[in-house]
Amino acid sequence: MQHSAKLEVTPEMIKRYNRPGPRYTSYPTVPVWKEGEFAEDYATALHKEGQNEQPISLYVHIPFCQQLCTFCGCNKYITNNQNLVEKYLTALEHEIAGVAERLVQRKKLAEIHFGGGTPTFLNPEQLSRVVEMIVSRFDALEDGEWAFEANPRVTTTRQLEVLYELGFRRVSFGVQDLDPAIQRAINRNQTAEQSWKTLETARSLGYKSINLDLVYGLPLQTPHGFRKTLEEVNKMRPDRLAVYSFAYLPGMFKTHERAIKEKDLPIPEEKIKIYLEAINFFAEAGYVMIGMDHYALPEDELAQALKNRTLHRNFMGYTTLHNMAQIGVGVSAISDFGDSYWQNPKELDQYMEETANNKLIPRRGLLLEKEDLLRRKVIETLMCHGEITIPDFEDLYEIDFRQHFAEAWTQLEQFEEEGLVNLSPAKIELTPTGMLFTRNLAMPFDRHLKAGGSPKFSNTV
């Protein structure tokens, strides 16, 4: 997908397909999960995970931020109250101990990921404390992947040094857009100089992989304006890039309703032009497009995984890691055991009170049925590789693919008429234009999705 001439996207097509749809970082998606109290089920899942020798991935949610970025949809708390932060870290320590206890055996860690909020909200001593909580209970693999998310406005050289000393080698910096007017519109006010300085510091310290996050569809954005951001970002030459679609959900996020005016957002036709600008720009700049929203230099592990068909997708986006449980700790954190999902309480006070008393009580959960496991594999394959080799699924799951997915196939035939997909007895293959509508093309395989999508999800364009 090198040039926009290949991508024939009409306004009619955008109008037809621009409807609410999942991003499929999980399947079934979170709105389908059951609500309740799942302490026993979660303990059983942890105990079962403790029976195997597979390493695990650990996600740590640090929910605090100094200032509210109005575009953000993460579970975060704006505070400068250090007593609250210390109380949270104590609760986190109890939870990590409780998880290790319920696993029974001491597990190996293949990945540690600090997300947020803003993990670099924590000072160097607090960051060291969190790592100590983890390594005292788990055995970190020597070649493990340690990554964290950071905001260049609040990340100091000392924090980057300490995190490197602790073992982190991957970092993802939020940039969004370098235009000062757009920064003001999202209450971020992050200068290009701050982004440059933090990136160069991380590089000089020896971080082996640096990712930059960009967002398209923000208030006041235009294709021409975003091009300037792309050119500056290309000079920075990060190893990876994530270019996310802004999910405007005023019914879900009060900040969207209060602080972002719909009239300031680019219309869908403009938004897809901005996206096409990014796709074509990064292709010409030598980056490999990974799935829907990630890019990597050709020598990067993600690009190699795409080439070798070992790419996977989880709650943190595209990854090279697979066949292991991802355990989430912290408020609202999600765990994925392959055959079940669990989510911690979303309310900070509730989370802190329960974990302080050694109670681990997820408030959302789902045990996956056989049919869900099959459909999850189909959707993940489509999202990662843009194609499905039908005989592979027929052999593995002992099904007649066309017959099993008869309803989905009928919808795919309509997409084929639009030029979004090529169908044959052996393969489903997205066209370059179809890649722009990957979410739409995955939706026919979603047996839980109501016709027309759900307003809980962002629009696909």
Identify the structural domains of the chain with CATH numbers, from first to last.
1-24+370-455 (1.10.10.920), 25-367 (3.80.30.20)
Tokens of 196: 């440059």
Based on its alpha-carbon atoms, the radius of gyration of the chain, rounded to whole angstroms, reads: 22
Distance (Å, whole) CA 146 – CA 322: 15
User: What percent of the chain lies above the pLDDT cut of 70?
Assistant: 95
28 touches 377 (CB < 8 A) = no
Query: Which residues, including other chains, have CB under 8 Å from residue 219's CB and lie 6 or more apart?
Result: 182, 185, 186, 260, 261, 264, 265
Q: How high is the pLDDT of residue 360? A: 97
In this structure, the dihedral spanned by the alpha carbons of residues 430, 433, 434 and 440, taken in order and rounded to 10 degrees, is 170
- Cβ–Cβ contacts within 10 Å for residue 82, how many? 10
d(Cα 153, Cα 69) in Å, to the nearest integer? Answer: 12
User: Has residue 376 got a pLDDT over 90?
Assistant: yes
Q: How buried is residue 53: exposed, middle or buried, by Cβ count under 10 Å (0-12/13-18/19+)?
A: exposed
**Stretch 292-296: mean pLDDT, rounded?**
91
Q: Is it the case that residue 293 has pLDDT exceeding 90?
A: no
For residues 96 and 133, the answer to whether their CB atoms sit within 8 Å is yes
**pLDDT of 273-285, one tens digit each?**
898 889 999 999 9
pLDDT level of residue 65 (50, 70, 90 thresholds): confident
Q: Is the pLDDT higher at 207 or at 25?
A: 207
Q: Of 253, 310, 333, 283, which is closest to residue 73 (Cα–Cα)?
A: 253
pLDDT at residue 265 is higher than 50? yes
Structure tokens at 34: 């059951």
Coil, strand or helix at 32: helix
* Stretch (H or E) spanning 209: strand 209-216
**Per-residue pLDDT, 145:** 93
Task: Answer for the pair 18, 266: CB distance below 8 angstroms, yes or no.
Answer: no
Q: Are 211 and 265 in contact (CB under 8 A)?
A: no
Tokens of 203: 């590089």
A 10 A CB-CB count for 278 gives: 24
Contact 334, 343 (CB under 8 A): yes
By the 8 A CB rule, do 378 and 446 touch?
Answer: no
Dihedral Cα 239, 56, 91, 158, nearest 10 deg = -30
| Residue 120 φ/ψ, nearest 5 degrees | -80, 15
Across 234-263, average pLDDT:
80
On the 0-12 / 13-18 / 19+ scale of CB atoms within 10 A, 240 is: buried
- What tokens were used for 77? 């708390």
Percent of the chain with pLDDT over 90: 72
**Contacts of the segment 32-38: beta carbons below 8 A, 24+ positions apart:** 32/366, 32/448, 33/341, 33/343, 33/364, 33/365, 33/366, 34/364, 34/365, 34/366, 35/363, 35/364, 36/363, 36/365, 37/361, 37/362, 37/363, 38/342, 38/361, 38/362, 38/363, 38/364, 38/365
Helix (H) or strand (E) holding 204: helix 192-205
**pLDDT (0 to 100) of residue 56:** 96
In whole angstroms, give the CA distance from residue 40 to residue 96. Answer: 17
Task: Give the pLDDT band (50/70/90) at residue 5.
Answer: very low
The C-alpha torsion from 34 through 37 and 40 to 42, rounded to 10°, is 60
Q: pLDDT by residue (tens digit) across 178-199?
A: 999 999 888 888 889 999 999 9
pLDDT band at 2 (very low <50, low <70, confident <90, very high): very low
| Residue 102: both structure tokens together | 């319920």
The verdict on pTM exceeding 0.85 is yes
Nearest to 56 by CA among 384, 377, 335: 335
Contact between 64 and 334 (Cβ < 8 Å): no
Element (H, E) at 388: strand 387-389
Question: Is residue 362 helix, strand or coil?
Answer: coil
Tens digit of pLDDT for each residue in 18-40? 888 888 989 999 999 999 999 99
| Dihedral sign, Cα of residue 25, residue 26, residue 32, residue 33 | negative
